[in-house]
Amino acid sequence: MNPIKLFIVFILVAFSANASAYGSKGSSKKACTKPTLTDAAPAHLATTTPESEFSFRTSRKTLLHSIHVYANKIPVDVKIEEFKGVFGGYTITGKLPAAIKKKYVRIDFEATTSNSCQGVDGWLLKVEAAQP
């Protein structure tokens, strides 16, 4: 066999072996897509009043039965409404529990998506009593 042809074959085999080591786009493993938390209101570190309402949105891949919301580790009853649009998803609203007497409140959101990925997210609010 010609040495040049042998060299070309060697290079092609080396490149194909290296390329296959990284897998392909058709890999059997799927990426984990965690639930998202967007459009939080009041915004992160905003000042609000005790027992005020809050809301946020999550993606349509979020499983409704898996949604749990806590304010300073106290479970919060929430209302979930579907919203349509380009991305779609759910709007979640709740109210800060009366039992919270601290100056800062951490709102935590836990959920699972349809591809079984669990996620936790949240934000912080500053709570001040309303001025008379």
Q: What integer is the mean pLDDT of 63-77?
A: 96
Q: Which two tokens stand for residue 121?
A: 């997210």
pLDDT tens digits for 12-32? 666 665 555 554 455 556 688
Full-model pTM: 0.72
99 domain residue, yes or no: yes
More confident position, 24 or 75: 75
Asked whether residue 27 is assigned to any structural domain, the reply reads no
Q: Domains in the chain: how many in total? A: 1
Q: pLDDT band for position 122 (50/70/90)?
A: very high
What confidence score (pLDDT) does residue 8 get? 67
Q: Kindly state whether residue 51 falls inside one of the protein's structural domains.
A: yes
pLDDT (tens digit, 9 = 90+) per residue, 51-68? 999 999 999 999 999 999
- Does the residue 64 lie in any domain? yes
In 3D space, the residue among 53, 43, 44 whose CA is nearest the CA of residue 76 turns out to be 53
DSSP 113: B
H or E segment and range at residue 13: helix 3-21
Domain residue limits at 69: 38-127
Residue 29 falls inside a structural domain:
no
- Is residue 10 in a domain? no
Domain with residue 91: its CATH number is 2.60.40.1220
